[in-house]
């Protein structure tokens, strides 16, 4: 039985922890996660999801504010491997070298593509057709370690075009795609499950010396930056197809928004049907079959759900009913 230390924090990490606990080939000796943090408007101190899961199985839980301080304790545990998935802190070199078989990371992209903090959102926003999970041996760089294994899945990322402009006589074209287009939330859940599957499939072979990590190809590397609330501000000068992907990619975090009547207007969901309408000023809200639409740099988007600052999330038609007389530029 291999002795494992598990390091992770959010809901994304939980399926992998569950898989390790349930597999008789592994003994999860300890779980390292982030400290409890205030959550919600009432700022209630809340344990991270990984801690909640670990406590269900009476596993030792450590929550250092700086993981570097854990080096001595980790050394004493004499683990075979450390598994890291979505932790939130950089693992320092003095810890990377401690386990017998090193520290392994599960990254939510097909490395070297989309290294960094937001691979899930970046893949959707970029219009990628596929993504996946990479199991790699960690080094001191940012997602630069040699690759042990990868598993690939498709992204439901096609948009649809509608001939919504009566003055546009071009043939209506549609891009075939799944009606259930991926969002940041749906792809998050798919990759979380895939991470667990990937680890159980390939970790035993690696620990047995049957799989040798292979270096990444640096010239193919791309980066997925850390996202903030400001990242979600929509630039309506961009094409509608690009904005449509961004809205899906950034749901639920960090969300997409614009300014309307000097207030923050959150764009929760846009329609998959992109209107080939190019008549209005960029950023102009207009009515399309009784629903709000916005002119983009090229083509237009119908808004399905939105939320004005201080108000509830409403459907586009409800927004028109309440603010129809005030529709103007965003």
Secondary element (H or E) of residue 16 = helix 14-22
26-32 and 61-62 beta bridge pairing: parallel
Please indicate if the annotation marks 111 as binding a ligand. Answer: yes
Please indicate if the annotation marks 112 as binding a ligand. Answer: yes
Name the burial class of residue 297, with classes exposed (0-12), middle (13-18) and buried (19+) by CB atoms within 10 angstroms of its CB.
middle
Q: Rounded to whole angstroms, how far apart are CA atoms 288 and 290?
A: 5
Q: Rounded to whole angstroms, how far apart are CA atoms 143 and 12?
A: 17
In the chain, the DSSP E strands lie at 2-8, 26-32, 37-39, 44-46, 61-62, 81-85, 103-107, 115-116, 130-137, 147-154, 160-162, 223-224, 256-260, 263-275, 285-288, 291-295, 300-308, 314-315
Are the C-beta atoms of residues 160 and 176 closer than 8 Å to each other?
Answer: no
Core vs surface per residue 180-208: b (16+ CB within 10 A) or e: ebbbbebbbebbbebbbebbbebbeebbe
81-85 and 103-107 beta bridge pairing: parallel
Rg (CA), the chain: 23
Please indicate if the annotation marks 110 as binding a ligand. Answer: yes
Q: Rounded to whole angstroms, how far apart are CA atoms 259 and 308?
A: 9
Q: List residues forming the annotated binding site for (6S)-5,6,7,8-tetrahydrofolate.
A: 109-112
Q: List residues forming the annotated binding site.
A: 109-112
């Amino acid at each position: 039985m291999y002795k494992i230390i598990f390091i992770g924090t959010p809901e994304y990490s939980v399926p992998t922890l569950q898989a390790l606990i349930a597999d008789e080939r592994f003994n999860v000796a300890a779980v390292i996660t982030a400290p409890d943090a205030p959550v919600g408007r009432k700022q209630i101190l809340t344990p991270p999801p990984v801690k909640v899961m670990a406590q269900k199985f009476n596993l030792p839980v450590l929550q250092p504010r700086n993981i570097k301080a854990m080096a001595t304790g980790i050394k004493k545990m004499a683990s075979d491997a450390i598994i890291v998935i979505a932790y939130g802190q950089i693992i320092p070199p003095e810890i990377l070298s401690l386990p017998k078989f090193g520290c392994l990371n599960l990254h939510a992209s097909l490395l070297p593509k989309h290294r960094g903090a937001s691979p899930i959102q970046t893949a959707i926003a970029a219009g990628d057709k596929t993504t996946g999970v990479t199991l790699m041996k960690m080094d001191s760089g940012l997602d630069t370690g040699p690759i042990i294994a990868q598993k690939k899945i498709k992204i439901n990322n096609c948009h649809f075009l509608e001939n919504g402009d009566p003055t546009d006589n071009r043939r209506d074209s549609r891009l075939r795609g799944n009606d259930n287009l991926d969002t940041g939330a749906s792809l998050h859940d798919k990759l979380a499950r895939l991470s667990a599957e990937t680890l159980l499939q390939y970790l035993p072979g690696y620990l047995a010396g049957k799989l040798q990590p292979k270096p990444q190809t640096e010239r193919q590397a791309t980066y997925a930056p850390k996202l903030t609330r400001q990242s979600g501000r929509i630039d309506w000068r961009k094409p509608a197809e690009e904005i449509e992907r961004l809205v899906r990619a950034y749901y639920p975090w960090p969300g997409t928004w614009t300014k309307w009547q000097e207030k923050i207007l959150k764009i929760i969901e846009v329609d998959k049907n992109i209107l080939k309408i190019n008549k209005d000023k960029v950023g102009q809200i207009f009515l399309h079959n009784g629903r709000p639409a916005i002119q983009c740099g090229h083509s237009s988007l119908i808004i399905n759900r939105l939320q004005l600052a201080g108000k509830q999330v409403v459907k586009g038609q409800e927004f028109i009913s309440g603010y129809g007389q005030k529709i103007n530029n965003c």
